[in-house]
Structure 1
Amino acid sequence: MMAALRTGIPSAGIFLGPLAWLINTQLNYALVPWICAHQVRLVPVVSVAAALVSLVGGLLSWRAFRLSPITPPSDSTGAGRPHRFTALAGMAIAALFTAVIVLQGVAGLMFHGCER
């Protein structure tokens, strides 16, 4: 486990970015009745936590990208494993979903959720 955190996981951003956005969106919708009743703005707090999760996925993908060789060794079939491409896609997806999560958090600063 610690070795994977040190060397990175190429697909971490592909999975953690969308997962963080999914959880962020669902929590924001689920918390609306409580937010309206108590007048506490939790959407930005939840968004910061979800953005950090998405950034961790991007960081793990970046570590895998940085440490993977440019020309990967071939397996027995002659086809290499596309770790660099997967890691690059993971970084891009994590950045995209982090931006979406941050924008949802900014919207939570402007709207309190009780508008009708």
Structure 2
Amino acid sequence: MTPPPAHPVLLAWAGLVMGPAALLANTQLGLTLPYAECGASLRPGPFLSGAAVLLSLLGAWLSWRASGLRRSGAGMPGFIGSLGALTGLIIAFALLLQSLATLVISACAR
């Protein structure tokens, strides 16, 4: 059995921080990259969007683990961990839809 992490309260906030940060970065890159992708043969947009989805899912997983570690004590860290996990999953779904849009719509049409 692995020992609990040193700061489960900080890990509970991972989904609430990593998910929106990934969404923010993906949105900004989605606004600036089409100009560079239009004439180029390499399209980094779908790969960067996929990395943002994975980052958001990682934050959701960390929050879920932190809420499970503190569930016996309940209270605010368990709630923040559950809320962070749910937020990370919802944002990961939105990022997945954005990454699918980068595959369907060409960069010149954006």
Normalising to structure 1: TM-score of the pair? 0.81
Question: What's the % identity of the aligned pairs?
Answer: 34
* Number of the residue aligned with 2:94: 100
Q: Return the alpha-carbon distance in structure 1 between the equivalents of residues 23 and 39 of structure 2.
A: 25
Shift of 1:28: 1.6
Match of 1:45 among 44, 47, 56: 47
Shift of 1:69: 3.3
SS in 2 for 1:31: helix
Tell me the amino acid that sits aligned with residue 93 of structure 1: T
**How many residues were matched structurally?**
106
Which protein shows a greater Rg?
1
Contact 1:58–1:91 under 8 Å retained in 2: yes
Tell me the amino acid that sits aligned with residue 92 of structure 1: L
Please give the per-residue CA displacement for 1:58-112, whole angstroms capped at 9, x wherever unaligned: 111011011113344xxxxxxxx50111001000100011001110000011001
Normalising to structure 2: TM-score of the pair? 0.85
* Number of the residue aligned with 2:105: 111
Q: Return the alpha-carbon distance in structure 1 between the equivalents of residues 30 and 109 of structure 2.
A: 14
Q: Which segment is superposed worse, 62-71 or 81-90?
A: 62-71
Shift of 1:43: 1.8
